[in-house]
A and B are shown apart, each in its own frame.
Chain A
């Protein structure tokens, strides 16, 4: 196996007394799509900043592309593409100018940035908006422009921090499609997200992070297999009744989670268990049988939901 592109050993980041990242370790291989999944405030973005060589770690060892971000920040950054959580496009410039000026920061010639900008406008489906100002673009367009900007230097690794937060479903799917194409081309992707479907769609391997520490690691399928059941039956009886009913159906399924708004029953056959519940006379207001997701994994590991 080749050298990992990221090797993190017990990295810690403290802000005064607050420990944002508490000794996490992981490796990312070249061409891999690696996700950090966790709720807001879990330490994902801080970890990402340390990888992106813009935030100095408090302790631990970190190597990115064989170099230490604390000492070789500019060299590491020359090989990265970064999509930050909040858009930081230059509002004073037009769409195409945003790409051109950004490419210059990597030492690209005027001719090279012009050619690359046109290719990436095509990739981001923004060619017809090349001369537009940034401000009137939709949220999805701004994200696509930010992704196009991050690709100006043909990066070895793309870092995406919550890439689709705040986008509507259609814009998310367009973005996922673009990112999936990059993944197919062999670009190493490292992304943070608190959306389980995003993590499942885009990641080959995931670490689940909470309160600055790693709770679990594996592929989405492995994690689901290890920490959840095949199916999940969700039943709702109304917020006052869920707890009461739960006592009478406690023996059904492999395990249960009683949330304020619903009861989750982890099972290998949700429909069968729903029939058992109904036969006992507990007719739920609504019910749903679905396959297990990373949300269930997270709930199992932390006792909390991702969007709590």
Chain B
């Protein structure tokens, strides 16, 4: 029989690299739906740019905030696409790992900890979001909607934005025993209003006062404003940009903390 010291030495490698093994698993799983990821990554920006950049932009020849409508809306399109994927990934894939396919329980039967499962999950999604955001950004550059030099910063902002909505939803989904319509409600009552009232197609200042709070609580508005700042320059005071960043980090970190707690609670009860 191995002694305790030998056993702990055996467990050292997974203790350090467990998060990566989980990310590796999820990347391998992604092979099964890679065509969906690639098609949607290329199809989404193309459709948005054709509809809004060429179609709707013609109706607003004067532009918004001193830039052409396409330039104004481009950061919002990228952010809303990645944040929507973030919201999706925080719901069904999390509940599925506990309820339908129970893969999280299988992983937790090995030296991998709940924290490493969450970590690997997020690392995989960082790669996925970076790919989708990178493709989207390429289209925006090609359409002349963003400058390459500073605009690339929209990619990390989009990833942070996606996590700011994904981790709170992940914390909630990991506590659910079943989906009896909660996810559909979240899509309709949280994600959709966020998309419509977060200064996506027009500045938040144009939204009626009584609806402006939606923008303030919405990670999408904060991510979009940051995106606009790195795309076509300072549109608001620096303290406000710093506030956007802080709010996104707060959502992502606090959400991540609670997501971890939910995973620990579900996996160790």
Contacts and interface: CB of A to CB of B under 8 A. Distances in A.
B113 A74 contact: yes
Interface residues of A, number: 40
A285 interface: no
Interface string A134-174: 00000000000000010001001000000000000000000
Interface in B1-26: 1-4, 7-8, 10-15, 17-18, 21-22, 24-25
A105 B1 contact: no
A78 B14 contact: yes
Given A74-B112, A75-B111, A102-B106, A107 B4 contact: no
B269 A55 contact: yes
B105 A84 contact: yes
B7 A78 contact: yes
A79 B2 contact: yes
Contacts of A15: 269
Contacts of B15: 74
A84 B21 CA distance: 21
A26 interface: no
B101 interface: yes
A79 B7 contact: yes
A28 B25 CA distance: 34
Nearest to A87: B102
Contacts of B102: 84, 86, 88
A2 interface: yes
Interface stretch (A89-97, A114-122, A227-235, A271-279): A89-97
B14 A5 contact: no
Contact of B111 (A65, A67, A77): A77
Contacts of A5: 1
B39 interface: no
A177 interface: no
A104 B24 contact: yes
Given A107-B13, A107-B14, A54 B101 contact: no
Contacts of A291: none
B11 A75 contact: yes
B44 to A, nearest CB: 23
Contacts of B268: 54-56
B56 interface: no
Contact of B4 (A66, A73, A84, A153): A66
B107 to A, nearest CB: 6
A104 B25 contact: yes
Nearest to B21: A104
B24 A80 contact: no
Given A74-B111, A93-B28, A88 B103 contact: yes
Given A66-B3, A105-B18, A78 B111 contact: yes
A105 B107 CA distance: 7
Nearest to A30: B1
Interface string B15-59: 101100110110011001000000000000000000000000000
A105 B120 CA distance: 12
A259 B210 CA distance: 72
A82 B106 CA distance: 9
Given A67-B7, A90-B103, A82 B109 contact: yes
A270 B14 CA distance: 59
Contacts of A105: 14, 18, 21-22, 107, 110-112
A125 interface: no
Given A88-B101, A102-B110, A156-B1, 18 more contacts: A55-B268, A55-B269, A72-B8, A74-B112, A74-B113, A75-B4, A77-B111, A78-B10, A78-B111, A80-B109, A88-B103, A91-B101, A93-B29, A101-B28, A105-B110, A105-B111, A105-B112, A156-B2
Interface of B: 1-4, 7-8, 10-15, 17-18, 21-22, 24-25, 28-29, 32, 101-103, 105-113, 267-269
19 contacts: A5-B1, A66-B4, A74-B113, A76-B7, A78-B111, A82-B109, A88-B105, A88-B106, A90-B29, A97-B28, A101-B21, A101-B24, A104-B25, A105-B22, A105-B112, A106-B10, A107-B10, A107-B13, A107-B17
Closest 9 CB pairs of A and B: A107-B13, A105-B110, A88-B102, A92-B29, A74-B111, A82-B109, A78-B11, A88-B106, A75-B11
